[in-house]
Chains A and B, each alone.
Chain A
Amino acid sequence: MNVLVIAEHDNVVLNPQTASVLGAALQLAEQADVLVIGYQCEAVAEAAARLQGVARVRKADAPHYAHFLAENLAMVVAQMAGSYSHVLLPATAFGKNLGPRVAAMLDVAQVSDIIEILAADTFVHPIYAGNVLETVRCSEPVKLVTVRSSAFAMVPACDAVAPILALAPGPDMGVSRFIGNELPHSTRPDLAAAKVVVAGGRGLGSHEAYHRLLDPLADCLGAALGATRAAVDANYAPNDYQVGQTGKVVAPEIYIAAGISGAIQHVAGMRDSKLIVAINKDPEAPIFEVADLGLVGDLHEILPQLTAALCR
């Protein structure tokens, strides 16, 4: 088994989900290589080199990788993939964008969003918004897989440092151009990695109420904020707060769902949380079917009282 993990990063910091993907890789082999593609991303390569189980870090560093354009990155990955039995990416926006492009270049199928590895060629992944788990066997020469990071433990950093090997950069395809981004800075923990998530739905009623009621609770619990599609569509919260089938998948220790009905598309993104708390005025709301702790009532009264009780 010869496993390659594609690192996700912002040229400065290695995204911690990479350590979870490496956790999956180490179920397949004792060691794995990590590929870092970026621009002036030395610090990222060094961080990757310190992760446990990394044999080598391979680094492609060039200006045309600064913004991680799929067309350019796929050329590098596809070029290298042939010498590996497995290529693993995180099932994040980054990995979902890049993986299938590489798969098509290699003429192999991709297995999306795995949550379990049963054998080197056999994986479990959710389909139908998580209502069905499918076990698939992949007999492709290169197994290209995206990994749901919440399902695999992160490997820790260690004292040993793996060698960093520079690669000659591939071509700049020149067909797409980065114009800009809006990445609002947040002092809260990353939604995908947070131990506690406080999520609000349409029941919050307004952008103002969403923040007035949820921010203090999240602040005192050190929690990330999450939202339903309905809450995002109504502009209570930004799009990257969306949890669900088509948003982020989270599995924190505690997930507090306030004013959320529990549509299957939302539950798909949080059903693996350890403790689910539901606050909803409708005793019949489906969210109570997945909740460990439920409180029926008006969130406008409950949330301030709960914050006061927990955060004195």
Chain B
Amino acid sequence: MKLLVPIKWVVDYQLRVRVREDGSGVDASGLKMSMNPFDEIALEEAVRLRESGIARELVVVSCGTAASQETLRTALAMGADRAVLIETDVLLQPLAVAKLLKTLAQRELPQLVIMGKQAIDDDANQTAQMLAAMLGWPQATFASKLQVTGTTAIVSREIDGGLETLELSLPAVVSADLRLNTPRYASLPNVMKARRAPIECLPAAGLGVDLQPRLTTVRVSAPQPRPAGVRVDSVEALAARLREALGMGGEA
């Protein structure tokens, strides 16, 4: 079976972006970029399916500027067989990304698309569900366990209040949650090899997809900082303050 894993290149999760003074957007210039952590987990799961022989081919794809090739090289070093860049300078929103991925899915005909549940920049948590709808395929979001047989995927999902298990007919779309696995580090020889690997570049403009953003950013701002707190120096002092806040009266 063939697997498709879409990957987004985002500001590293340990870094904080700055809001531009004029509120027109965020300033990420000069910040280290990394593979979206959830996509890394999705990719790890796909690499394991590939290694176990359940999958025969693993294709990774990123939508964005030429710079996104770097994250595709990381994916190749982690174990992907082939990488595709759908190239555009347009600032893509989830609906447009899902449409681009749909065109690639229709060309590649994967049995399973595994992708991150959300990107840690826009935090939208939309693309997997949108892609599944556009393809008319079933979806299992927020996966914490994935088992693939010949014709179905059995997926445990993290839901409010616990876990749920679904069985999906393939082809299907699965979105990865944090606890699905712990991604590997690519080995140095693989990183070197991936540097020279070919990446197929498809200009997004040629795919007949409406890429224009549907949502307009009016402004961005930093959240109100919380007023500075106080340090208390004893459990008694803390308990007294808490009793007050709880409406438990002053003295106990």
Contact = CB atoms under 8 A, between A and B. Distances in A.
Q: Do A and B bind each other?
A: yes
B133 A104 contact: yes
Contacts of A96: 125, 129, 141-142
Contact of A306 (B124, B235, B246): B235
A131 interface: yes
Interface string A236-258: 00111000011010000110000
Contact of B123 (A129, A135, A229, A233): A129
Interface stretch (A55-63, A137-145, A156-164): A137-145
B217 interface: yes
Interface size class of B (residues with CB under 8 A): 35 or more
Interface stretch (B62-70, B200-208, B224-232): B224-232
B95 A177 contact: no
Interface string B230-252: 11111110110111011010001
Given A128-B26, A292-B229, A245 B123 contact: yes
B229 A293 contact: yes
B160 A92 contact: yes
Contact of B219 (A135, A192, A239, A310): A135
Contacts of B122: 127
B71 to A, nearest CB: 18
Interface string A195-216: 0100000000000000000000
Contacts of A94: 159-160
Contacts of B221: 132-133, 135
Interface in B65-123: 93-95, 98, 117-118, 120-123
Interface stretch (B12-20, B51-59, B183-191): B12-20
B17 A138 contact: no
A159 B221 CA distance: 42
A309 B239 contact: yes
A185 to B, nearest CB: 9
Given A71-B139, A132-B26, A138 B123 contact: no
A254 B166 CA distance: 36
A170 interface: no
A149 B17 CA distance: 26
A168 interface: no
Contact of A183 (B117, B162, B234): B162
Given A94-B159, A177-B166, A233-B179, A132 B246 contact: no
B239 A306 contact: yes
A112 B158 contact: no
Interface stretch (A21-29, A41-49, A294-302): A294-302
A134 B239 contact: no
Given A109-B93, A135-B217, A233-B179, A294 B132 contact: no
A38 interface: no
A264 to B, nearest CB: 7
A233 B125 CA distance: 22
Interface size class of A (residues with CB under 8 A): 35 or more
B165 A290 contact: no
A103 interface: yes
Q: Of residues B160, B230, B231, which shows the largest number of chain A Cβ atoms within 10 Å of its Cβ?
A: B160
A52 interface: no
A187 interface: no
A175 B158 CA distance: 20
A64 interface: no
Given A100-B94, A276-B229, A126 B239 contact: no
A87 interface: no
B126 interface: yes
Nearest to A111: B215
Contact of B120 (A177, A245, A275, A292): A245
Q: What are the 5 tightest A-B residue pairs by CB atom distance, in nearest-first order?
A: A309-B239, A100-B129, A109-B214, A104-B133, A104-B130
Interface of B: 11, 13, 16-17, 19, 26, 38, 93-95, 98, 117-118, 120-134, 137-142, 144, 154, 157-169, 172, 177-179, 214-223, 226-227, 229-236, 238-239, 241-243, 245-246, 248, 252
14 contacts: A93-B159, A103-B95, A104-B134, A127-B122, A128-B26, A136-B216, A140-B214, A174-B169, A175-B168, A181-B159, A248-B160, A271-B226, A292-B230, A295-B233
